[in-house]
Amino acid sequence: MTRYLEGKVAIVTGSGQGIGRAIAAALAEQGAAVVTNNRRPGATSTTQLTPERLSKLTEEERNWVTQEMQRFGGDAESTAEMIRQRGGKAVACFADITDYDAAGRLIETAVEAFGGVDILVNVAGAFGFSPFEKMSPALFRKVTAVKLDGYFHTCRHAVPHMLEKGWGRILNCTSRAWLGDIFRHAEYCAANAGVVGLTRALAVEYAGQGITANCFSPYARTRSAIDLQMFDKTVEQADRVMAVDGVTPRVDSAPPPEELTPLICYLCTDAAARVNGSVFNIGGSKIGLYSNPEIVCQVCKAPGERWTVEELVHSADGMLLQGYHSVVENYR
């Protein structure tokens, strides 16, 4: 079997478990030496399921949550050890990428252990949810500190090494939330939209210098998804986060994280050198490519003339807004 990333060095943030863990293992299988990363040793616990909310679940549901969290748990060292046991090269680095200097130490770990940085995959994330009118500044900062600040930190430290080599691949994890249509997740929507903007800016700035930057929006069975699904069982229907038309999708029908990894590995190869500044949606057997934003309608006046409020009040619907649909029409 061809190993498409032989000799490359990859860093994967948030690779102690879940999607990041699967990506780190897949990159190693393709020949890359990998630096795994999460904030601290030990698997993280549930985020939304507080002890009070857990008590509202049935005993069977609590046991299921415990089993699933243990099954999908781990940290950077356990991921690195798994890679080494499979014959790959990996070292772990516990570092909180929300800290600029800590992110720098993560990048330097790759340089010291394997001689450089070729691939950076940012998967680390945080989330919470709240009606916007009740959202605290602390919650907003908690989420954007990882996405977006943390991704800026790692990219900022990695790009000089990639420029020196004249080759690099940056892959940043976003979410369909970048479209702004996830209910009670304004902070998460803002963070993921920022990730897309940052990634596209890197793609444009370093075009022609051997560096590409792309985003991926994954759908998979993870600890976070399990956390959210069971949270919805502890609140009234009107307060559910994942529900669509009152029905909460089952996480156990979601594909495993390993099914996301072929696209990630492909985007890190020379074969994908022309793919730059794009956003992909991936889940199981489905891979999607988002279109680039574009102006779909434009009305113009003669040079030097200006639109008036009165003109727009009386004519916008018949000109600029012909065929217009607002984003909220899909969610009523």
pLDDT in tens, 141-191: 999 999 999 999 999 999 999 999 999 999 999 998 899 887 788 999 999
**Torsion sign over Cα 188, 15, 36, 120:** negative
User: In which residue are the tokens 């999460």 written?
Assistant: 38
pLDDT tens column, 211-261 = 999 999 998 866 666 656 655 556 555 555 554 444 445 566 778 899 999
| Token digits of residue 295 | 């102006």
In the prediction, which pLDDT does 113 show? 99
Least confident residue range of 12-16, 118-122, 232-236: 232-236
Give the largest CA-CA distance in the chain. Answer: 72
3-state SS, residue 209:
coil
Q: Write down how long the chain is.
A: 332
For residue range 264-274, list pLDDT tens digits in order: 999 999 999 99
- Residue 106 to residue 83: CA distance in whole angstroms: 18
Domain 9-289 top-level CATH class: alpha beta
**Taking the domains of the chain in order of start, what are their residue ranges?**
9-289
